Structure 1
Amino acid sequence: MPTVPLPDDLRAALAGQLAATAPSAASAQVERLMVAYRGTTPTAAPVLRDAADVAAYAAYRMPATYAAARTALGAFRLRAGGWAPGTHLDLGGGTGAATWAVADAWPGAKHTSTVLDWSQPALTLGAALARGAHTGPVRGASWRRQPLGGAAGLPASDLVTVSYVLGELTEADRDALVGAAADAAGGAVVIVEPGTPEGYARVIAARDRLLAAGLHVLAPCPHDAACPVTGTDWCHFAARVQRTALHRQIKGATLPYEDEKFSYVAAARFPAAPAAGRVVRHPQIRKGLVLLDTCDVPPALHRTTVSKRHGALYRAARDTEWGDPWPPEQIG
């Protein structure tokens, strides 16, 4: 699985802003945050309450949130053709992981980003991190405090991202926020949630809301029909996260990476076609065989076996990763 590299300027900004954070103190803060994030009862207030919470979150979770958002945006961009956002709205963006991911997904694009969140300490740290950015869209982003529950009247934007925030809201507020995101989006909405059964359920509900608002799905699904993943299974993907030194200290980890599981949906208003199918499990490579589990059209899950006798297709299958389109549109 390829590692999603953290931009050098973001890595440096995190190190600079969090240099005074003691790993032992951050570890305790992170544990409290993880309990809050995994809780089943949504809150009426931000999970990130103060500067200490935000510093712990940025050290522990921002690289993973960035990697998941960047991977989802990459899959979306492959289907979006030449489309690029001129304006970007990051709902619940906190410290701005998705804003950094959008800038990296469309390098050189001259778009403007606005980050809305209900935690002022998160916005304050996000703006401080952005000051060290090499890219204009991050460095020039606007950071605004706004309650997310029942959000309405959002500024019109070409692209709206909603990453790792729906789990903090009540069901009614989630629906209202996704509806407001759809209303604000002139081009596309990308929603990312943890790759858990609960996160997947929130993504499916958001997907239904986006379809009802007139958008069509470009990724990961190859169709707008009901998801064929049912029962105790759930659709999710993984991004390999490049750990920072502080992250390794907080976790007491030795590996330079970890795998972040996430679920997502990317839907658009502009004309573009999704992939013919998508790999929804780790490919199984056997001697002379590659086994691929895919979601295809008509909506169904399939097991595809590709052998050496398939020639170039076999070579493509060996290079295929979990989450990639299948079959490949070009084989060479």
Structure 2
Amino acid sequence: MNAPVSSADALRAALAGLLDGLPPKAAAQAVERLIANYRGRTPTDAPVLRDRSDVAAYAAYRMPATFEAVRTALEAFAAAAPGWVPGGHVDVGGGTGAATWAVHATWPGERPVTVLDWAEPALALGRELAAGHPGLRAARWQRARIGQALTLESTDLVTVSYVLNELTPADRAALVDTAASAARAVVIVEPGTPDGYARVLQARERLVAAGFRIAAPCPHGAACPIAPGTDWCHFSARVSRSSLHRQVKGGSLAYEDEKFSYVAAARFPVAPVPARVVRRPQIRKGQVLLDLCETEPALRRATVTKRHGDLYKAARDADWGDAWPPADEQRR
């Protein structure tokens, strides 16, 4: 019997046909412009994705990275809310639908799904890519202006990924408030930059003020213990590169690491981790250094040595973004 195809593999397969007909030069030019928008600081009131060439370049270059970042955030949320499964999902500013694929990867099964975006070419391609996915082919792809005039129907889960950086401060605040009023759970993902973290932190504050409980990545719902301007909270997801991705970026590696910041919150009880690894662990001879955000709230560097036995083995296997201690150690 053949093993079931994962959502990540299904997404790569759906993108493969798209890449076959994409002229490399046109794709490279479109990707360069999209990178400038992605990294830029100037909000725009016009769609970033203008036509099919732009959308195809975006799907090839950004969709796998967005998928992996959102899936990582959703997995952390799911661990804090075991047994909870969203009955419906609205993806705001979802473009070609990477977050909808990530939601299905986290909670398989069919559910009402609506993707909202102001770029019709992105919605059209997203619909095309999802047509072959049993859990997504019935999704609604709806054009909407993302901003203060946006209204949302009640739903279980709202995702907002890589959208806040495209909005004015007033539109960002309005979007977070609208999501909070409509959903039982909200997950927001932004680029893992100081500015991206600042936008996530502002959204986190609004969600807490609206009565939401923080599920991840924070072990607490209190103020972030990072002193403003000294550092920023972000994480990393491993992304497999497509051939176009490697060609455009001039790289030879088959993967790259996507840096992202996020917050996941819910109106229902959640169980955040006791602590989370917030930097890549440093493995040295006979010891592992772990930078932790803890429940207090506080930031602390923990040193785990061989004399800690099984905990030392767990520390050597720990990764950036993991809960600490591991679940099996928490049960002991």
Moved more, 275-284 or 25-34: 25-34
CA distance in 2 between partners of 1:25 and 1:110 (Å): 36
TM-score calculated relative to the size of structure 2: 0.95
Give ranges in structure 2 of 5+ residues lacking alignment.
1-5
CA distance in 2 between partners of 1:42 and 1:271 (Å): 35
CA distance in 2 between partners of 1:37 and 1:151 (Å): 24
Partner of 1:36: 37
Conserved? CA contact 1:79–1:275, under 8 Å? yes
One-letter code aligned to 2:118:
W
Matches within 5 A, 1:174-323: 174-185=172-183, 187-230=184-227, 231-323=229-321
Moved more, 18-27 or 286-295: 18-27
Partner of 1:155: 153
Conserved? CA contact 1:6–1:242, under 8 Å? no
Partner of 2:3: none
- Could you tell me how far 1:6 is from its partner in structure 2? 6.3
Conserved? CA contact 1:37–1:47, under 8 Å? no
Confirm whether residue 67 of structure 1 aligns to residue 68 of structure 2: yes
CA distance in 1 between partners of 2:326 and 2:113 (Å): 33
One-letter code aligned to 2:125:
L
CA displacement, residues 234-255 of structure 1 (integer Å, 9 cap, x when unaligned): 0000001011222222223211
Determine helix, strand or coil for the equivalent of 2:104. Answer: helix
- Could you tell me how far 1:323 is from its partner in structure 2? 0.2
- Could you tell me how far 1:279 is from its partner in structure 2? 0.3
One-letter code aligned to 2:247:
Q
Conserved? CA contact 1:17–1:129, under 8 Å? no
One-letter code aligned to 1:212:
A
- Could you tell me how far 1:98 is from its partner in structure 2? 0.2
Identity of aligned residues (%): 66
Determine helix, strand or coil for the equivalent of 1:84. Answer: coil
CA displacement, residues 40-94 of structure 1 (integer Å, 9 cap, x when unaligned): 2101111111111111111111111111001101111111110000100000000
Moved more, 319-328 or 88-97: 319-328
CA distance in 1 between partners of 2:252 and 2:19 (Å): 20
Determine helix, strand or coil for the equivalent of 1:58. Answer: helix
CA displacement, residues 268-308 of structure 1 (integer Å, 9 cap, x when unaligned): 11112111110000001111101100000211100001111
CA displacement, residues 168-199 of structure 1 (integer Å, 9 cap, x when unaligned): 000000000011011110x2100000000000
Conserved? CA contact 2:26–2:53, under 8 Å? no
- Aligned counterpart for 2:170 among listed residues 166, 169, 172: 172
TM-score calculated relative to the size of structure 1: 0.95
CA RMSD of aligned residues (A): 1.3
CA distance in 1 between partners of 2:247 and 2:129 (Å): 20
One-letter code aligned to 2:11:
L
One-letter code aligned to 1:143:
W
Partner of 2:81: 80
- Could you tell me how far 1:232 is from its partner in structure 2? 2.8
Give ranges in structure 1 of 5+ residues lacking alignment.
none
- Could you tell me how far 1:152 is from its partner in structure 2? 3.4
Partner of 2:23: 22
Determine helix, strand or coil for the equivalent of 1:224. Answer: coil
Conserved? CA contact 1:91–1:162, under 8 Å? yes
One-letter code aligned to 1:280:
V
Moved more, 223-232 or 200-209: 223-232
Partner of 2:101: 100
CA displacement, residues 82-132 of structure 1 (integer Å, 9 cap, x when unaligned): 00001000000000000000000012x332211000110100000000012
CA distance in 1 between partners of 2:197 and 2:270 (Å): 24
Partner of 2:117: 117
- Could you tell me how far 1:313 is from its partner in structure 2? 0.9
Moved more, 83-92 or 51-60: 51-60
